[in-house]
Amino acid sequence: MTSQTTVATATSDPGPRKGLRGHPWLTLLSVAIGVMMVTLDGTIVAVANPAIQKDLGASLADVQWITNAYLLALAVALITAGKLGDRFGHRLTFLVGTTGFAVASGAISLSDTVPAIVGFRVLQGLCGALLMPAALGLLRATFPAEKLNMAIGLWGMVIGVSTAGGPILGGVLVEHVNWQSVFYVNLPVGAIALVLGLIILKDHRLEDAPKSFDPLGIVLLSAAMFCLVWAVIKAPSWSWGNSRTLIFLGAALVAFVAFAAWQTRVREPLLPLGLFRSLPLSAGTVLMVLMAFAFIGGLFFMTFYLQNVHGMTPVNSGLHLLPLTGMVIIGSPTAGAIITRIGPRIPLVVGMLLAAAASFGTATLDADSGTGVMSLWFALFGLGLSPVMVGATEVIVGNAPLQHAGIAGGLQQAAMQVGGAIGTAVLGAVMAARVDHLLPRKWADQGLPPLPHDQLPGASDAVAVGIAPVPKQTPGPVAEKIITASHDTFMSGMSLSFTVAGVIALFAAAVALFTKRGENAGAAGAAAV
């Protein structure tokens, strides 16, 4: 047995805690509560942004920074945070991340300026980066191989529950309390996760765990991730062919190449490139990027469709998305059990095929589609995603050596964040191009006078998120024509975007053919029960 408990942990294990410390299912409960705080924050804050904008008199750019600062910090730090977990123990990094995330949330709720909120959102992202890979590392080290997939499935279910509950809870809090309450929610959740973590979580250190750091590797990888994510975030407003976008993409490429070259020379690299000699691990990473591209990029338009085309409130739109997130909740533990029996390859392929079918089906929706047909495609989307979220995670983490479990967890989360950012940006560019091309024609088809040249960009921006640019005091019949032209244009763009997402999902199904059960999973439960 290669894993060992640190002296500090061993001496803190007397009497009453002996049956609790390191218990696999209680460990799952502890990390799930912490992860729930982070994933809940990912969707609940989006609902609060309009209220923050109104209360603080913030500009659209300010509100975008509230979201982008968190995303940048999270994406940039994930792999480095995984390395910290492998070096200092996943229990410590999980507890630090949980505490820091909750404290940053409380600080945001007390802030009355946009710069302060943005600064604490950066801290939230950094602490979330510590927490997420550590959670997977703890599960990997605690659960025996035959139960790991079920644990990851239940972990995915928690993510589904909190993702589904975010818009609903956020809508209720913003409507009936205030926007600050959206961040206060994390304080009791974080306190519970911290107390449970102190009592239950147990570190499993390996004799060959990393003993040193790679400062230059951290700088190069952080720079590469920052430039890549920043270019992807800004591309919709700058345009993909803009010199600034190309400069940041070029800088990201140079930094990634320099990072890869340095990793072959340093004694204990930040991200051992030998991990990618495992074809299943590499395929799992690519699969996670593609899955997030199709899912998060598509979900971006679902919310605009429900709220701006159908006129739903945030709470009501969250309820209409329950078929999707509900199937993730139901399907994740089921997928974990199936993957344990037959391995990940077939469930992953079938899952991405179902996601592709759901994307193509969603592309057929129109402005008048009813709840029934929407629910059908949303539920199919969730059913397809369940085995992918569980299986791809198991493939990445299970095919990495146990001493690199934190790095593998960071790699999995980074792949999902980058894939989601790229998916949102690329599908957003597809939508924008479609609207720019189609809106003047749809406008003319309704017998409306041509839009003045200086008003066309603003109208296109509004239509790209499903908003009809109806001026105040416009006569009813004219307003109806503007709404029809705008919604028809948006639906055409959404249809094309989901078609692209479906093609990406089909490609992901082909990539899934190269996955297999983790070769190193057998070590997972060396120190468990």
CA atoms within 13 A on the CB side of 178: 9
Short-list 49, 265, 338, 270, CA closest to 166: 49
- Do 374 and 462 lie in one domain? The reply is no
- Do 429 and 439 lie in one domain? The reply is no
Tokens 């279910």 — which residue? 157
Residue 10 has pLDDT above 60, yes or no: no
Provide the token pair at 127: 């602490």
d(CA 416, CA 315): 26
pLDDT band for position 380 (50/70/90)? Answer: very high
**pLDDT tens digits, residue range 184-198?**
888 998 999 999 999
Give the pLDDT score at 205. 63
Report the relative pairing of strands 205-206 and 3-4 from DSSP bridges.
antiparallel
pLDDT band for position 208 (50/70/90)? Answer: low
- Do 112 and 237 lie in one domain? The reply is no
- Do 445 and 427 lie in one domain? The reply is no
Across 438-464, average pLDDT: 84
Residue 473 has pLDDT above 50, yes or no: yes
Residue 513 has pLDDT above 90, yes or no: yes
CB contact at 8 A, 90 and 142: no
Give the pLDDT score at 64. 67
The answer to whether residue 20 is domain-embedded is yes
Q: Which residues pair with 206 in a beta bridge?
A: 3
Across 6-21, average pLDDT: 44
pLDDT band for position 12 (50/70/90)? Answer: very low
Residue 174 has pLDDT above 60, yes or no: yes
**What are residue 460's phi and psi, to 5 degrees?**
-65, -40
**What are residue 310's phi and psi, to 5 degrees?**
-90, -10
Residue 475 has pLDDT above 90, yes or no: no
- Side chain identity at residue 518, one-letter code: G
Q: Write the CA distances from 453 to 192, 459, 460, 485, integer angstroms.
A: 56, 10, 11, 17
Provide the token pair at 44: 């609940």
Residue 157 has pLDDT above 80, yes or no: no
Residues whose CB is less than 8 angstroms from the CB of residue 266 and which lie 6 or more positions away in sequence, other chains included: 214, 216, 217
Q: Write the CA distances from 215 to 75, 325, 371, integer angstroms.
A: 18, 40, 53
pLDDT band for position 358 (50/70/90)? Answer: very high
Give the pLDDT score at 41. 77
pLDDT band for position 124 (50/70/90)? Answer: very high
CB contact at 8 A, 3 and 205: yes
Which carries the bigger pLDDT value, residue 497 or residue 421? 497
**pLDDT tens digits, residue range 481-497?**
988 998 999 999 999 99
Using the 3D structure, point to which of 222, 239, 267 is the last residue of a domain: 267
**pLDDT tens digits, residue range 318-342?**
788 888 878 888 888 888 888 888 8
- Do 307 and 451 lie in one domain? The reply is no
Express the helix, strand and coil content of the chain in percent, nearest 5 each. 80, 0, 20
CB contact at 8 A, 470 and 483: yes
- Do 231 and 135 lie in one domain? The reply is no
- Do 317 and 423 lie in one domain? The reply is yes
Provide the token pair at 474: 């416009």
Which carries the bigger pLDDT value, residue 155 or residue 527? 155
- Do 506 and 407 lie in one domain? The reply is yes
Across 1-14, average pLDDT: 35
- Do 40 and 150 lie in one domain? The reply is yes
Q: What counts of helices (H) and strands (E) characterise the chain?
A: 18, 2
Residue 294 has pLDDT above 60, yes or no: yes
Exposed/middle/buried for 304, CB within 10 Å: 0-12, 13-18, 19+? middle
Tell me the average pLDDT of the chain.
Answer: 82
Residue 171 has pLDDT above 50, yes or no: yes
DSSP state of 451: P
Q: Is the dihedral of CA 112, 115, 121, 127 positive or negative?
A: negative
Share of the chain above pLDDT 70, in %: 90
**pLDDT tens digits, residue range 50-79?**
778 778 877 656 776 777 788 788 888 888
Exposed/middle/buried for 302, CB within 10 Å: 0-12, 13-18, 19+? buried
Q: Where are the alpha helices (DSSP H) in 110-214?
A: 114-142, 145-176, 180-184, 186-200
Can you point out the beta strands (E) in 190-247? 205-206
The answer to whether residue 326 is domain-embedded is yes
- Do 158 and 233 lie in one domain? The reply is no
Exposure string over 100-113, b if 16+ CB within 10 A, otherwise e: bbbbbbbbbbebee
The answer to whether residue 192 is domain-embedded is yes
Provide the token pair at 288: 């996670």
The answer to whether residue 131 is domain-embedded is yes
Short-list 439, 340, 348, CA closest to 392: 348
Using the 3D structure, point to which of 267, 296, 330 is the last residue of a domain: 267
Residue 9 has pLDDT above 50, yes or no: no
- Do 301 and 439 lie in one domain? The reply is no
Give the pLDDT score at 523. 45
CB contact at 8 A, 193 and 34: yes
The answer to whether residue 529 is domain-embedded is no
Residue 13 has pLDDT above 70, yes or no: no
**pLDDT tens digits, residue range 134-153?**
888 888 888 877 777 778 77
Residue 499 has pLDDT above 90, yes or no: yes
Give the count of domains, the chain.
Answer: 3
The answer to whether residue 323 is domain-embedded is yes
Q: Write the CA distances from 480 to 330, 436, 452, 462, integer angstroms.
A: 41, 21, 19, 16
Residue 101 has pLDDT above 60, yes or no: yes
* pTM score: 0.79
Which carries the bigger pLDDT value, residue 417 or residue 128? 128
CB contact at 8 A, 505 and 298: no
Q: What CATH number does the domain containing 83 carry?
A: 1.20.1250.20
pLDDT band for position 212 (50/70/90)? Answer: low
Residues composing the chain: 529
For residue 218, the enclosing domain spans 214-267
**pLDDT tens digits, residue range 304-318?**
888 888 888 777 877
Give the pLDDT score at 524. 42
Give the pLDDT score at 361. 95
- Do 37 and 146 lie in one domain? The reply is yes
The answer to whether residue 516 is domain-embedded is yes
CB contact at 8 A, 344 and 513: no
